[in-house]
Structure 1
Amino acid sequence: MAYTRKDVSTLTGAERRRFVKALLELKRRGEYDEFVRTHIDYYVSDGDGGLRTAHMAPSFLPWHRRFLLDLEQALRRVDSSVTVPYWDWTRDRSATAAPWTKDLLGGNGRRSDHQVTTGPFAYATGDWTIKENVTDGRFLTRDLGRAAAPIGLPTRSDVDRALQDPVYDVEPWDSTVTRGFRNKLEGWGTGSGSAAWRNHNRVHRWVGGLMLGGASVNDPVFWLHHAFVDLLWTRWQRRHREHRYLPAEPPGPTSRQYRRVVARQEKLPPWDVTPDQLEDVSRIYRYA
């Protein structure tokens, strides 16, 4: 029977406590840091050689869908009642509303060094020391809204512009495409400054701190953010039922994306699963 992922703003006090407790237990066991390392390892950009799976590629959505499932399964081994909630950043846009409460993820970082000092993931608790990172920082950091260079969260109309595109992705299957649902949601734009960051990417920028870059999994909000991104993919799938993941076939030897992107029936590293197998997860979970 499928379980339910809920809007984080609707969680009861008990549900919040159980979710946080399960996350902290994964961290204590060392399992959580393995998720951080995996994301760092698979954060490959257009400019790098080889296969891209997690970002700047068609498999951005199925890769993170499977990544979320792995984390959720780990949480449910700790507490079978727990599921990953989603943060609807088109609606809950305040830096003091859920999920930024003391009983959930804690609040913004302090002005001096962006260190998060409130909530269960504050460094002072001793329960959330950063161990896998691209720098030497040991504490969780945030800069909600970027005080020095303010940026706003994406709006519902920003999301609608992505959902309206009936095509999943287009050549050259990277961060430069201006058509296709995948990159309109992932959010690699053109130009410079805040206009270059849209939807998914813009949320990472708005949160700031450790949410910038490959080590973003160190902030538990990563999962709530990507659960909402996954929910948006399910909405796109319902709206455009005749359209599917692209490319359907691997780019040929003459393409600059040869062996650099995953086609629909190809295995999606690091798992033994294909994007095709991840398109329908209705038997596993649903969204409230």
Structure 2
Amino acid sequence: MNKNYLLTFFVSICLTISCYAQSIRKGFDEMTDYEISELVDALYLLREGPDLMNDLATFHGDFFNFDNTADPTRLDLHFNLPDEPEREIFLAWHRRMIFELEQAMQDINPEISLAFWDSSVYQSPLDALWDEDFLGSFDTAWALNRNLGADNRLPTPTDVTNLMTINDFFVFSNILERQDVHRGGHVWTGGAMPTPLSPRDPVFYFHHSFVDKVWHEWETIHQNSTFMTTSMLRYDGTYTFDGETYSLVDPNDITDTRVYGVFYAENGLAQLDNYIVSNTYNPEEVFYYQFNIEAGNNFLIPAGTVSRFESVNEINLTPGFEAVPGSSFQAVIDTDNAISSKQSLAVKTVRKSNPYPYSDKLFEPIVWEETDDLLNDKPVIIAAHPNPFTEKITINLNKRTDCAIEVFNMMGMKIREEAFQNTDTLVIKNLYGLSSGFYVIRVIDGDGEILVVKRVIKL
């Protein structure tokens, strides 16, 4: 390919080993035709040889949920909340799982990455996601038996927004897992998706990229995702696939998507920040996006590392971006794939010659439990405003309660404590004398239990 290079820091290194990429994940509607074609072909290719997709689906089915079996003590992946928080790994496990598939795809083409299906917005069987040259062909080829829209429980944008108001991580995770932001995409798609073998359908990975994005946005706000367990099934240091034994993954180590170099783009902008290129998983870290890539705010490319930004349209390096002498960095405009017609792409034959249909014998559908009363167990913060604040903060809870508020500075010193009785509105006044910076607010119930912790900023 002939490409127009915007700028190059230190001549790029020629690599003779396979090249993996890090990820800018975008909505499926923001993918280029080139990305769609290459991603679809990569998914078909992954069914050949060791068949990673089948292995992931089988593992997901084998360890789906044991709460209602003869041996409920066996570790599992789903529905451990609210009763068994010590077993909870739902969000972290699926983050690691979809990253595993994405890395395998990028071994085929380092410029592709998973995309997300925002099912709160795209809710029609006629959406481009289901086109025959996108994910539509897999339905027949792999005998998935989709039934799009038969069980219409897709989430609304308000459902997603409401999740962001929950402060307690386990409450958030439980509601996300059991209700429509997660459940909806499974039951609406039908076929394999509402079964423990759901990873047999490629849309599973688009759906769980969206679930992962929701968790990423919640964590950005609350910054308190915490798991009790320190290892996960499949990623516990014992599982082997295709001759490779996977290393142990502590779910608490992957609460930030940037651990895997994953960034979520939206509305034409991919913001890359607070990240250090390490080449831990890849000899070259490639960030590819059709629209604007903006990198800054502590994005660092150290000496001895290799990275590339590639956009069809625009790349901006803002204050805080640094490529250290001795690193290899390229910013590239991909002029070859700035096209709008899918017909101008050569369609590969691999998807036609190797369909690898799955068996029609699927597990019984998942029993999705409603949990509308989950929030009634204890209060959660609906809002803390204004943030940043100047002289007072108002905290709104979802229910009336007796509680106390403690305010700490970033040195851990308690600087204010106030008690409240039978109220859902807590106002902390006379804060104008505090120095500018970060503070932590802690809400404690009448039994001394910490309900919520919130970080705020004083202007």
In the superposition, the TM-score normalised over structure 1's length comes to 0.73
**Residue matched to 2:334:** none
Report the CA distance between 1:281 and its aligned residue. 2.8
2:44 is equivalent to residue 24 of structure 1: yes
2:278 is equivalent to residue 287 of structure 1: no
- If each structure's helix is expressed as a fraction of its own residues, which one has the higher value? 1
**Residue matched to 2:90:** 60
- Quick one: which of 141, 145, 153 aligns to 1:141? 145
Instruction: Tell whether the 8 Å contact from 1:53 to 1:268 is kept in structure 2 after alignment.
Output: no
Instruction: Tell whether the 8 Å contact from 2:46 to 2:52 is kept in structure 1 after alignment.
Output: yes
**Residue matched to 2:127:** 97
- For 1:245, give the aligned amino acid: T
Indicate how the Cα distance of structure 1 residues 144 and 122 shifts in structure 2: closer, same or farther if over 3 A, else same. closer
Q: Give SS of 2:133's match.
A: coil
Give runs of ≥4 in structure 1 deviating > 4 Å: none
Q: Cα RMSD between the aligned structures?
A: 1.6
**Residue matched to 1:39:** 60
Which has the higher mean CA deviation after the structures are superposed, 55-64 or 39-48? 39-48
**Residue matched to 1:245:** 226
Give distance in 2, aligned partners of 1:219 and 1:153.
18
Q: Give SS of 2:206's match.
A: helix
- For 2:42, give the aligned amino acid: A
Q: How do 1:183-198 residues align onto structure 2 when only pairs under 5 Å count?
A: 183-187=174-178, 197-198=179-180
Give distance in 1, aligned partners of 2:112 and 2:77.
25
Q: Give SS of 1:282's match.
A: helix
Indicate how the Cα distance of structure 1 residues 53 and 281 shifts in structure 2: closer, same or farther if over 3 A, else same. farther
Q: How do 1:58-207 residues align onto structure 2 when only pairs under 5 Å count?
A: 58-106=88-136, 119=137, 121-123=138-140, 128-129=141-142, 139-146=143-150, 150-169=151-170, 180-187=171-178, 197-207=179-189
2:242 is equivalent to residue 278 of structure 1: no
Indicate how the Cα distance of structure 1 residues 244 and 32 shifts in structure 2: closer, same or farther if over 3 A, else same. closer
2:189 is equivalent to residue 211 of structure 1: no
Report the CA distance between 1:211 and its aligned residue. 0.5
Q: Give SS of 1:211's match.
A: coil
**Residue matched to 2:73:** 50
- If each structure's strand is expressed as a fraction of its own residues, which one has the higher value? 2
2:233 is equivalent to residue 269 of structure 1: yes
Report the CA distance between 1:50 and its aligned residue. 2.1
Pairs aligned (count): 222
Task: Kindly provide the CA deviation profile for residues 206-226 of structure 1, in whole angstroms up to 9, marking residues without a partner as x.
Answer: 111111111111111000000
Give distance in 1, aligned partners of 2:39 and 2:148.
22
Give distance in 2, aligned partners of 1:67 and 1:50.
23
Indicate how the Cα distance of structure 1 residues 45 and 203 shifts in structure 2: closer, same or farther if over 3 A, else same. farther
- For 2:209, give the aligned amino acid: A
- For 1:168, give the aligned amino acid: F
Give distance in 1, aligned partners of 2:165 and 2:32.
34
Q: Give SS of 1:236's match.
A: helix
**Residue matched to 2:25:** 5
Instruction: Tell whether the 8 Å contact from 1:185 to 1:199 is kept in structure 2 after alignment.
Output: yes
Report the CA distance between 1:270 and its aligned residue. 1.4
Give distance in 2, aligned partners of 1:122 and 1:281.
30
Give distance in 2, aligned partners of 1:100 and 1:141.
13
Instruction: Tell whether the 8 Å contact from 1:45 to 1:56 is kept in structure 2 after alignment.
Output: no
Report the CA distance between 1:17 and its aligned residue. 0.3
Q: Give SS of 2:24's match.
A: strand
Report the CA distance between 1:95 and its aligned residue. 1.0
Give distance in 1, aligned partners of 2:207 and 2:66.
20
Instruction: Tell whether the 8 Å contact from 2:139 to 2:145 is kept in structure 1 after alignment.
Output: no
Task: Kindly provide the CA deviation profile for residues 97-133 of structure 1, in whole angstroms up to 9, marking residues without a partner as x.
Answer: 1311121111xxxxxxxxxxxx2x143xxxx44xxxx
How many percent of aligned residue pairs carry the same amino acid? 31
Instruction: Tell whether the 8 Å contact from 2:60 to 2:199 is kept in structure 1 after alignment.
Output: yes
Instruction: Tell whether the 8 Å contact from 1:205 to 1:211 is kept in structure 2 after alignment.
Output: yes
Give distance in 1, aligned partners of 2:234 and 2:134.
30
Give distance in 2, aligned partners of 1:122 and 1:269.
29
**More relative contact order, 1 or 2 (CA 8 Å, 6+ apart):** 1
Instruction: Tell whether the 8 Å contact from 1:68 to 1:223 is kept in structure 2 after alignment.
Output: yes
Task: Kindly provide the CA deviation profile for residues 129-167 of structure 1, in whole angstroms up to 9, marking residues without a partner as x.
Answer: 4xxxxxxxxx11111111xxx423110111222221110
Q: Which runs of 5+ in 1 are unaligned?
A: 107-118, 130-138, 170-179, 188-196, 248-262
Q: Which runs of 5+ in 2 are unaligned?
A: 1-20, 81-87, 236-247, 266-459
Instruction: Tell whether the 8 Å contact from 2:42 to 2:105 is kept in structure 1 after alignment.
Output: yes
